[in-house]
Structure 1
Amino acid sequence: MRYWSGLKMKFSSALVSLRLLLQLCIRTVHDISASLFSTVWYWTPGVCRGASVVSTADREVDQKEVQNVMTPTSVNYHFTRKCNYKCGFCFHTAKTSFVLPLEEAKRGLKLLKESGMEKINFSGGEPFLHDKGEFLGKLVQFCKQDLQLPSVSIVSNGSMIKEKWFQKYGDDLDILAISCDSFDEATNQLIGRTQGRKSHIENLHKIRSWCQQYKVAFKINSVINTFNVDEDMTENILQLNPVRWKVFQCLLIDGENAGEAALREAERFVISEQMFQEFLERHSSVSCLVPESNEKMRNSYLILDEYMRFLDCREGRKDPSKSILDVGVKEAIRFSGFDEKMFLKRGGKYVWSKADMRLEW
């Protein structure tokens, strides 16, 4: 009797275990199936994803939103429009005299850094003109020391730069680009890149030596136009030995240097694509030459104006976005017209920190 009672208890216990095992198997199969079906539902147009319905159109909108979120890797901040030169082809003219207060400018730069900015280029107008270069110096210092940007650069005509500026702010500047369109003083006079009796060429060489002394990478920018298109600058460029020689084709921007509302009339400076190519071929032996035709230049720069608005140049004029100080970088950059692919194609991203250039000072 005890034997049958014990056997019955063992059989009952085994049955319970078998039932538990079977329940466990069923639950596992259910979980796996649910996981598989949820994956299929996620990718099938027009079916449930959780509590919402995802259509093909919805996914296309999501993808467009991702594509429209651009990173302001390299930004050109034209914080002033005032200039002491009168270059006939200038396409960022003195339409206003406005300059943001220093702390507001810093706030905008901080927003850009938080959005992914790696390089800031300060330009104008003439950036050394406002507050005798102190405003510019404080921005350079802030971007390098506080924001820790990999690259801080300036484009200037060089006429207002003093050695004491290098002594105070040179450590925080990676690249100084000086605009020089000709190595003939008479040609510079015709273009308007001059002030009084000062020699633009002599000043260029002086600044080159300061860059060497205070360990700032030296760069030259040239705008090729009807007055200098036949010039051979090879010998002078090789002597100055810049890290980059940026060569631009003269560009027309409606409302700036062309059209009824423009402060400049640059039509007489414009050259053809063929003329530009002939100039480049003449200087093909210069290894530091970086050419930029109108096609490459128009949409491949992120330009901030004096109000910290992105400027859209796609229609041949400068249409401003809302200020990043008011709507943020993500919203404003959507209206910039920026072509990231062309930015990369033209070599917009390069070794731009002087710490990485391995220059011999």
Structure 2
Amino acid sequence: MTSVNEMVINFHMTETCNYRCEYCYATWEGNDSQAELHHSFGDIQSLLRKLSNYFFTSNALKTALGYRAVRINFAGGEPVMLGGRFVKAVLLAKSLGFRTSIITNGHLLSTTMMRRIGPHLDMLGLSLDTSDALLAQSIGRVDRKGAWLSPENACDIVSAYRQANSSGTVKINTVVNAFNWREDMSSMVVQLQPERWKLLRVLPVYTHQLTVTSSQYRAYVERHAAFSDIVTIEDNQDMWQSYLMLNPQGCFYQNSAACQGVVQSPPVLEVGVEAALESIDFNAQAFAKRYPHAHSDASQA
């Protein structure tokens, strides 16, 4: 049996985002933004309590993975756009015993909000694809006014987080795509000093225009070999069925095997966690392989 220290549930609270990244997969056909659970804090409470009641007790995934902690990763779209509703969800998750993290483009993450959530946030994840303003425009990592998260702004956010939570972890997510695969991000990474840097090869889910070849992706990874002690590599095949994800309506979902879209479960609030999980394909062993602290009982025998 392969075991991991923590189980991670990615809750995409909203599809709404202030950026328009060309490769974004966090969109759901026919999504009604008014049906997103964050509009009712009671629904968010019910969802998080159902998750805690299932994942903190004996269940099939705990048997398969032997996890000791459970982390809710708040994502989007852009979760920070939800303001106080997002803050309340993070604080509630923490009070229920979850470890907490966010993945954000950082554009709207104010010092005031960081003071509120920072002490209760175990990991700050920043989506940073480039340190170049023109590349950011090409990818779509700008708002409607063309503003973007510069390296200086990113450093300010990381500094504010570390002041609020000295034991917190900083992670960078970089999607390697057709626009940025030639770039050298070393200077920016040195400035930010993250504990983790995840290099994801862009998924051809909705568009093939930004895809990169295997050799282009490897070239990007090799260019940043000096950071191998913090880098996690995620090629396309590493992502299939290896993420446990909830959409804004509280349905588990997975990328389809053919990479043509997504398959989703009935809402957790209607059928419960166990029944919802049974209706999607989640590969516990593929999940475990993405974590460097995973180990196999056989290897320790």
TM-score, structure 1 as length reference = 0.70
Higher relative contact order (CA 8 A, sep 6+): 2
- Equivalent residue, structure 2, for 1:89: 23
Letter in 1 for 2:255: C
The structural deviation recorded for 1:199 is 4.1
- Equivalent residue, structure 2, for 1:178: 126
Deviations 1:171-192 (A, max 9, x none): 1111111111011111001101
Are 1:191 and 2:139 matched, yes or no? yes
The structural deviation recorded for 1:126 is 0.5
1:116 aligned residue (52, 55, 66): 55
Letter in 1 for 2:156: K
1:308 aligned residue (245, 250, 260): 250
1:102 aligned residue (41, 63, 77): 41
Mapping 1:208-287, distance limit 5 Å? 208-215=158-165, 216-253=168-205, 258=206, 266-286=207-227, 287=229
3-state SS of paired residue (1:129): helix
Alignment RMSD? 1.8
The structural deviation recorded for 1:214 is 0.8
The structural deviation recorded for 1:292 is 0.7
The structural deviation recorded for 1:241 is 0.5
Q: Which runs of 5+ in 1 are unaligned?
A: 1-71, 259-265, 351-361
3-state SS of paired residue (1:87): coil
CA distance in 2: counterparts of 1:218 and 1:86, whole angstroms: 24
Letter in 2 for 1:188: A
CA distance in 2: counterparts of 1:329 and 1:229, whole angstroms: 39
Question: Is the deviation greater in 165-174 or in 180-189?
Answer: 165-174
3-state SS of paired residue (2:10): strand
> 2:155, 2:191 within 8 Å by CA — same for their partners in 1?
no
> 1:177, 1:221 within 8 Å by CA — same for their partners in 2?
yes
The structural deviation recorded for 1:205 is 1.6
Deviations 1:58-89 (A, max 9, x none): xxxxxxxxxxxxxx921100110001101111
CA distance in 1: counterparts of 2:273 and 2:148, whole angstroms: 41
CA distance in 2: counterparts of 1:108 and 1:174, whole angstroms: 20
CA distance in 2: counterparts of 1:74 and 1:348, whole angstroms: 14
Mapping 1:196-207, distance limit 5 Å? 196-201=145-150, 202-207=152-157
3-state SS of paired residue (1:164): helix
Larger C-alpha radius of gyration, 1 or 2?
1
CA distance in 2: counterparts of 1:248 and 1:229, whole angstroms: 11
CA distance in 2: counterparts of 1:348 and 1:127, whole angstroms: 27
3-state SS of paired residue (1:104): helix
Query: What is the count of residue pairs matched by the alignment?
Result: 265
Q: Structure 1 79/187 Cα, relative in aligned 2: closer, same or farther at 3 Å?
A: same
> 1:211, 1:217 within 8 Å by CA — same for their partners in 2?
no
The structural deviation recorded for 1:312 is 2.3
CA distance in 1: counterparts of 2:105 and 2:32, whole angstroms: 19
Q: Structure 1 304/348 Cα, relative in aligned 2: closer, same or farther at 3 Å?
A: farther
Mapping 1:1-361, distance limit 5 Å? 73-93=7-27, 95-98=31-34, 99-100=36-37, 101-116=40-55, 118-130=70-82, 133-145=83-95, 147-149=96-98, 151-195=99-143, 196-201=145-150, 202-215=152-165, 216-253=168-205, 258=206, 266-286=207-227, 287-315=229-257, 316=259, 317-347=261-291
CA distance in 1: counterparts of 2:19 and 2:32, whole angstroms: 16
Q: Structure 1 275/189 Cα, relative in aligned 2: closer, same or farther at 3 Å?
A: same
Deviations 1:250-270 (A, max 9, x none): 0022xxxx2xxxxxxx31100
Q: Which has the higher helix share?
A: 1
> 1:81, 1:96 within 8 Å by CA — same for their partners in 2?
no
Quick one: percent identity of the two aligned structures? 31
> 1:224, 1:250 within 8 Å by CA — same for their partners in 2?
yes
CA distance in 1: counterparts of 2:281 and 2:146, whole angstroms: 41
3-state SS of paired residue (1:268): coil
3-state SS of paired residue (2:125): strand
Letter in 2 for 1:141: L
CA distance in 1: counterparts of 2:117 and 2:130, whole angstroms: 28
CA distance in 1: counterparts of 2:169 and 2:32, whole angstroms: 31
4+ long deviations beyond 3 Å: none
CA distance in 1: counterparts of 2:266 and 2:220, whole angstroms: 39
The structural deviation recorded for 1:349 is 6.2
3-state SS of paired residue (2:72): strand
CA distance in 2: counterparts of 1:194 and 1:349, whole angstroms: 35
The structural deviation recorded for 1:106 is 1.5
TM-score, structure 2 as length reference = 0.83
